[in-house]
Amino acid sequence: APAQARPPRGLQYETVAPNLDDAIRVPVDYASNVVIRWGDPMFPDAPEFDFENQTAAAQARQFGYNNDFCGILPIDGPGRRYVMFSNHEYTLEPLMFRGYDEDAPTPEQIRIGMAAHGGGVVEVTRDLRSGELRYDRDGKLNRRITADTEMVLDGPAAGAEVLRTKADPTGRSVKGMIGNCAGGTTPWGTFLSGEENFDGYFASGPATDERAKRYGISEGSSERRWETVDPRWDLAQEPNEANRFGYIVEIDPHDPRSKPVKHTALGRFKHEGATVALTRDGRPVVYMGDDERFDYVYKFVSDKRMRRGHSRAAREHNATLLSSGTLYVATFTGDSPAAEITGTGALPRDGRFDGSGQWKPLASTTKSYVDGMSVADVFVFTRLAADKVGATKMDRPEDVEPNPRTGKVYIACTNNSDRGKAGAKAGPDEANPRNANQHGHVIELTETRDDPAATTFAWNILLVCGNPDDPSTYFGGFDKSQVSPITSPDNVAFDPYGNLWVSTDSTQALEINDGLYGVVLEGPQRGSTRLFASVPVGSECCGPVVTENFVLVSVQHPGDVDDASPEKPASHWPDGGAAQPRPAVAAIRHLKDGRPAKIGV
Ligand code: FEO
Ligand code: CA
Ligand code: CA
Ligand code: CA
């Protein structure tokens, strides 16, 4: 066989072999270490983790469960000290507690669960000699955010009737964030965090309310029974409480006392993440996915310009950037005849799944573009507004993220087992070309004139994922014998050279552990997927951060396989031995002659 061409700068590592190991696997000459784990004390006076004797008070001072998104901002210039933010998306009580009874959790178990949700801000130090990253228990910026933390509701829907409750007659103040999945790091130095699967936390959903149903809110008890300790989770008692969840939350990590802000201007849906590009005149554009089968891709265009610098005036101004602007939803139109899109993944005659698209406005701060819906309706019941304008039904859009080097936007459509099924909401289309799409695909979107605020775009599919032996897959046209198998793309990141990185959440759909892949975008190897790291048994790989000197991966729900329990753990990562599995953030570094070296070069 001909020698393989050298991958581009940033992706020059020996790919990891797909595996089912209970470990993080990294390339030759790379190493990993745990930055922070579930239960690690985040304050000098916080208790040490004790799996057998957990309390809600301790959990509220310790790193939470199921870290998903991970973002960093440098504190002391590049290289040594960072502030890191992690989402704590959800809890897995059957793995957290011995003998957990899902029909009758104890009040303390429920309160521990509430305290394990939300997010965490910690200071992280990089040891310049070893290259390891560790969190600092004494960091002045350290902070826990839970399901009870006071937050602000702002933007066009703030104060609306549908956001008011007994505890908050103003409709402008809410406790807690839940289901926070992915997120983003803004150019003005804050973190964004997406409330995703909030529906399952509410009891007594109304039987006949189409708006509640469109968000999946159901009758009966909630999954975790939070309503038994706090009636605000019971919609029979607080009918509007669920309308106060499902937003993008902005967190200022530089002020641990600041109130996180839920931005209604970015719409309400099952937000995966939120990532920012700037227009040439400095206005933020935020790209977002609604992770549900047959849901939509959105963007928000601010009507204000970012101010540079970190003066108090600049920070106060930038805190309002996501409070007013216009929210759009995407339609994708293929350029090949519909008859050539067969649902098998077979390419149409022009050889590409590609076409054009439109961003359709839903509402701005002062104007609704949707018949029969007010401005507040659009921002609170965004899914129904997008239904009305005929948005394109996608295969679970997760991360939607612009490449800072090129401005091209990458959309991870993770999978959609229902595409094309009898009675399903949609069959195949050129942007979602595979029926029963088990392994997902990645779309590349180019805004007209490379303007993030444009209302039209071009698009093509970069990857149709799966095992390269599977004829329905496509790797940018690259030689499939040279790629790593990949399934269920979830999170997206970019390295400093502009390469794409994709992490996966597959429930072992290819009978391999999830991982993080470098993906070539430019040149003859475009579409080459290169497995860089795999994560332990039962876990998904989230929150990648790829820098010149290290990579962070968020290892979510290690040991989460059928029938696992504390009596029968399926993983012992990261502590080893007989230990219970603990979700954690891990750092990966490159070593040459024992000294830290650049990633991928
Ligand atoms: Fe929480 Fe869309 O993954
Ligand atoms: Ca085409
Ligand atoms: Ca996700
Ligand atoms: Ca996920």
pLDDT in tens, 491-543: 999 999 999 999 999 989 999 999 999 999 999 999 999 999 999 999 999 99
Cβ atoms of 24 and 589 within 8 Å: the answer is no
- Give the model confidence (pLDDT) of 430-453 as tens digits: 999 999 999 999 999 999 999 999
How many Å lie between the centroid of ligand 3 and the Cα of residue 361?
26
Q: How large is the average pLDDT for residues 267-282?
A: 98
295 lines ligand 1 (CB under 6 A): no
Cβ atoms of 397 and 295 within 8 Å: the answer is yes
**Interatomic CA distance for residues 269 and 292, integer angstroms:** 9
Q: Which ligand 1 atom lies nearest to the CA of residue 89?
A: 1
pLDDT at 76: 81
Per-residue confidence band for 1, with pLDDT thresholds at 50, 70 and 90: very low
How many Å lie between the centroid of ligand 2 and the Cα of residue 98?
54
Share of residues in the chain with pLDDT > 90 (%) = 97
89 lines ligand 1 (CB under 6 A): yes
pLDDT at 5: 82
How many Å lie between the centroid of ligand 4 and the Cα of residue 260?
23
Kindly tell me if the per-residue pLDDT of 259 is higher than 90: yes
Residues with Cβ < 8 Å from 137, sequence gap 6 or more? 40, 41, 42, 43, 44, 46
**Interatomic CA distance for residues 190 and 13, integer angstroms:** 32
Per-residue confidence band for 79, with pLDDT thresholds at 50, 70 and 90: confident
pLDDT at 78: 65
Query: Closest Cα to atom 1, ligand 1: which residue?
Result: 181
**Interatomic CA distance for residues 463 and 353, integer angstroms:** 10
Q: Which amino acid is at 230?
A: D
Mean of the per-residue pLDDT values of the chain:
97
pLDDT at 561: 96
How many Å lie between the centroid of ligand 1 and the Cα of residue 461?
21
Kindly tell me if the per-residue pLDDT of 486 is higher than 90: yes
292 lines ligand 1 (CB under 6 A): no
Is residue 162 classed as helix, strand or coil in its secondary structure? helix
Is residue 556 classed as helix, strand or coil in its secondary structure? strand
Cβ atoms of 531 and 484 within 8 Å: the answer is yes
Q: Which of 185, 452, 187, 451 is nearest to 308 (CA)?
A: 187
**Interatomic CA distance for residues 568 and 38, integer angstroms:** 19
Which residues have C-beta under 5 Å from ligand 3, the single-atom ion?
Answer: 181, 398, 490
**Interatomic CA distance for residues 94 and 314, integer angstroms:** 46
| Domain residue extents for the chain | 30-198+245-597
* Distance (Å) of CA 469 to CA 8, 419, 421: 25, 22, 24
196 lines ligand 1 (CB under 6 A): yes
Q: Which of 356, 395, 363, 392 is nearest to 378 (CA)?
A: 363
Is residue 447 classed as helix, strand or coil in its secondary structure? strand
Q: How large is the average pLDDT for residues 413-429?
A: 97
